[in-house]
Amino acid sequence: MTLAKRIIPCLDVAGGRVVKGVNFKDLVDAGDPVELAKFYGEAGADELTFLDISASVEDRSTTLDIVSRTAEQVFIPLTVGGGIRAASDVDQLLRAGADKVGVNTAAINRPQLINEISDRFGDQVLVLSVDARRSKTESGFEVTTHGGRTGTGLDAFAWIADATSRGVGEILLNSMDADGTRAGFDTEMISRVRSITQVPLIASGGAGKVEDFARALEAGADALLAASVFHFGTFSIQEVKAHLAQRGYSVRQ
């Protein structure tokens, strides 16, 4: 059976509001996270991703109140990321209504965190968030942290191989070069990551036209995440799904 391709709106939250910019800079307000979550739940989103993009920068945990209020409004899987440093943080988020959690900065600083979360809760709850950009590493891609502000010098492909061996259920692959540009997903990076792992791959960064979503699937993505094109009404989730269905992809209506 062919699994349906998933369309996932992303709520980048800072200061209690959904924001969007280009390469995580020049952020503009895109609305209330709870209201937007409810809207997307009713608009045909397959899942929802909630990223507290200022949590790591401000060295604090994710805002549980917003997560719990968001979870009350949506009846589709909810992934929450930002500021997760310990298995106890995951426990709190799951109790607040999250279905999955995303880790990035803390896992890079201490990779054993992946093992601890996976061993305690199962790898199906764990999404590895990889903010990668072109750089002078062995693969040509480097992992960044703190919303793309900080380069790590860590080769993105080596990190993905290490992290997946420790136990992650999905990879959220975000192109920092393409993020917010609406110039299309980074299909080269998607296809190269697909060649080194069988873990389900969520492509993020660069959606600008409905055709971009099909190209990312052709490159090897299993799910597609976007923010500004949905927040600002460039096109709807249903328009994306209709285009994918026309191209022969299985989607949930």
- Nearest Cα neighbor of 199 from 161, 229, 247 is 161
* Cβ atoms < 10 Å from Cβ of 105: 25
- Nearest Cα neighbor of 243 from 200, 207, 204 is 207
Q: Is 140 left (phi over 0), alpha (psi -120 to 50) or beta?
A: left
Active site positions, annotated: 12, 131
- Nearest Cα neighbor of 46 from 170, 219, 166 is 170
For the chain, what is the radius of gyration of the CA atoms? 16
Tokens of 84: 């997760």
Q: DSSP H helical segments within the chain, as ranges?
A: 33-42, 64-73, 87-96, 105-109, 112-121, 156-166, 187-194, 210-219, 228-231, 237-246
The rounded distance, in Å, linking the Cα atoms of 141 and 159 is 10
Handedness of CA 112, 117, 144, 141 (dihedral sign): positive
